Amino acid sequence: MSKRKYFGTDGIRGTVGQFPITPEFVLKLGWALGQALGNKGNVVIGKDTRISGYMFESVLEAGLTAAGVNSLLVGPMPTPAIAYLTRTFRADAGIVISASHNPYHDNGIKFFSADGTKFPDEVELEIESLMDKAMTTLPSDQLGKAFRIEDAAARYIEFCKASFANNLSLKGQKLVVDCAHGATYHIAPHVFKELGAEVIVIGNKPDGLNINLDCGATATSSLSKAVVEHKADLGIAFDGDGDRVMMIDGGGSLVNGDQLIWLLAKYLNSNGELQGGIVGTLMTNMAVEVDLKNEGIDFERTKVGDRYVMQSLKKNGWKLGGESSGHVICLDYNSTGDGIVAALQVLKALKNTSQTLTNFSNLHPLFPQELINVRVENADVILAKKELKELVANVEKELGDSGRVLIRKSGTEPLIRVMVEAKDETTAENYANMIASQVQELV
């Protein structure tokens, strides 16, 4: 497999104005996609609410137009909405302009294929090879056109509502919904209100600069406070592009992606609807794995990243998986992680079992997890050291089935990440500090 020059595990992302997140590069990226599509077809373009989205929407449209491809512009829209709209419009590809949970000064480009899944490696590599060629413009009578899709939000709202059973209502439920000043701001409140809930909305006033700022799935303290203040049943937090969800129970405590997947797995399994096992990642809490295996539910771990979760689900023919960060993939409903749809499945499970989120989180606590980052410049060398491997093996032996160790190189920073899980906090802390000290000594 050739090494990617621009694409990471989730598209191309970086600081606006710094290569490759520049107007010049993104213009050519649009053109390269048009070339890869054979100079014809339709591409859905959506974005989140960051101010640079206007600029990148314009240049993508221009690049596609020069290559003879039509742009279907839907404006601010969650990432999973683009996956859905690409399928429903029978488009040839979808583009999301977003840096997900990052601050406003970052942005990125993600691609979806015609079936609403991430582009396969070979297509990304083809686009990268086309970036090395000189950009050309087709004759005027062969240029693409741009169309504004006015009802895109309404279409996606109805799609989300359709994932909630027709015979169920959210009447009597008080929900606080945090839209992270992001792409769900004009979608999520309508979905939950139209299903009957009383909805208090926060994080729904985007100004181009406040996306993910002290709010949303990556900063849930304001949501926790609002749930307690309003005596709500629970809170729901999305990230900037709406593909992640976190929840807050009625007592104000965080319920993360691991616990939401755990809840859905147990509910679906009890109804005979699970269709196979569950996919998590290296970071999925061990309490989830232990409980699922005790119930006879298969569980598989992948590398961190929803891309790898999706690959494993497809390989196994399973339907449910995700990450502790809030990516919850329900393949019965959408072809990618969808925060709103996942939240609705949790609400449906709670409704059908007459259970509260507080009750579930109290009965299903996660193992304490201690994570220590050690700054290093030569992570591969350190990780290969015999004495470190022996220490980790000894700790794993002592923990047995009541904990685990994960030590890995960061993919984004010069760090070694040391994570230890155990059934009690003190044990996790002690072992994590022991291993981190050994790493520090080797440095």
Residue positions annotated with a catalytic role = 100
The β-bridge relationship of strands 146-148 and 70-76 is: parallel
253 touches 361 (CB < 8 A): yes
Residue 403, classed as helix, strand or coil, is strand
232 touches 217 (CB < 8 A): no
Q: By C-alpha distance, which of 306, 355, 303, 349 is closest to 327?
A: 306
Q: Cα(380)–Cα(386) distance, rounded to whole angstroms?
A: 12
Can you say whether the dihedral through the CA atoms of 12, 220, 313, 282 is positive or negative? positive
Ramachandran category for residue 199: left, alpha or beta (phi over 0 → left; psi -120 to 50 → alpha)? beta
- The amino acid occupying position 38 is G
28 token code pair: 């050519």
CA dihedral 60, 61, 66, 69 (to 10 degrees): 110
Burial bucket for residue 261 (CB in 10 Å: 0-12, 13-18, 19+) = buried
- The amino acid occupying position 267 is Y
Q: Cα(82)–Cα(59) distance, rounded to whole angstroms?
A: 18
Helices (H), ranges, 108-256:
121-131, 152-162, 188-194, 221-229
Residue 100, classed as helix, strand or coil, is coil
Mention every residue, 6+ apart, whose C-beta is less than 8 A from residue 264.
320, 328, 330, 342, 345, 346, 349
The alpha carbon of 208 is separated from its chain's Cα centroid by a whole number of angstroms, namely 21
Strands of 332-368 (E only): list them.
none
Q: Cα(130)–Cα(128) distance, rounded to whole angstroms?
A: 5
277 touches 316 (CB < 8 A): yes
Q: Cα(180)–Cα(217) distance, rounded to whole angstroms?
A: 7
The DSSP bridge partners found for residue 321 are 279, 329
